[in-house]
Amino acid sequence: MSQVSPELDAAIAEAGLVPGRSPSPLRLPDPRALFAKRAARLRALAPGHSLDSWLRFVADLADAQHEVVQAAALLLPDRQWRKDLQSLLAALKGTLPAPAVEMAETLRHATDAELDERQSRLQSGKPTPDDLAAAPFLGAAEQIAWTRFAALQDASAMTPAATAHQCPVCGRPPVAGMIHIGSEASGLRYLHCGCCGSAWHHVRATCVACGDGKGVHYRLIEGGNDGVRAECCDSCHSTLKQFLLEKSPDFEPVADDLASLPLDILVGEEGYQRIGGNPFLVMG
């Protein structure tokens, strides 16, 4: 692993706002494109990757999510996700790898109470081995329900603070941050939600977890993609992945977070703990 050069480190530590610019506080997801883009990115990352088969499996999940998210929802996300789970499993039938077929069948016949119990154990950090096998399906279903819900919200009615560390739509921590490009957002950091797909502006000069700016530094894998880095805070020992779109405009937060697992392992060995989670890293 290498540390970002002092010059680049200083540049990144500067405030993300250019004088006179007023960034959009919140960007809502487009369900018509989100999961299709993710599936394509996962398949582009898979060849030659140590997680090749896992990336392709998650790409198949994303294809099914793209199909299911187009349907109308009748319930709020905390109840709708169970119905979306059944639709997801139906869309996946005949495409799942052998190890996943048995769990899919178990979930297909599970009661709402049983599904809620699994989710509760996963979210509390006390899952059983059986829950870990179910996690990708449950996480994918929640993503469908919350993404559809998020897309229907009024972004102008939500004004998250520029230091918000939880998604203003679903309340989850970010899966990663992205430094954007383009005339309206060039150089600005947006935190991306791995559940509902929303993104919200966050200043670049401070740690997302504790708000301190003095102990923030950036790590990357030597010889790897220099657009993928871990923001590490020595004040609270937290870390969050960061992707620079100027290095690769194809970055997709959930897919690239999953594919850059080795960076998580390396900074984890140094004592830093992830701020947010990726539902597909539970087993990955």
Q: Average pLDDT per run of 10 along the chain, which is 284 residues long? A: 49 41 84 98 97 96 98 95 98 92 96 96 90 95 98 92 88 95 79 96 91 92 91 96 95 97 94 90 59
Q: Are domains 2-28+157-274 and 34-151 of this chain identical in fold?
A: yes
Long-range contacts of 110-119 (CB under 8 A, 24+ apart): 112/82, 115/82, 115/85
Identity at 183, one-letter amino acid code: S
pLDDT for residue 153? 96
pLDDT for residue 205? 82
| Structure letter (DSSP) for residue 215 | T
Superfamily of domain 2-28+157-274: FdhE-like domain (3.90.1670.10)
Q: Name the pTM for this structure.
A: 0.89
Q: Which CATH class is domain 34-151?
A: alpha beta
Long-range contacts of 243-246 (CB under 8 A, 24+ apart): 243/176, 243/177, 243/178, 243/179, 244/178, 244/179, 245/178, 245/179, 245/180, 245/181, 246/179, 246/181
Residue position matching structure tokens 């990352």: 45
Sequence ranges of the domains in the chain: 2-28+157-274, 34-151
Identity at 178, one-letter amino acid code: M
Question: How many CA within 13 A on the CB side of residue 168?
Answer: 25
CB 136 within 8 A of CB 283: yes
pLDDT for residue 1? 59
pLDDT for residue 281? 84
pLDDT for residue 181? 84
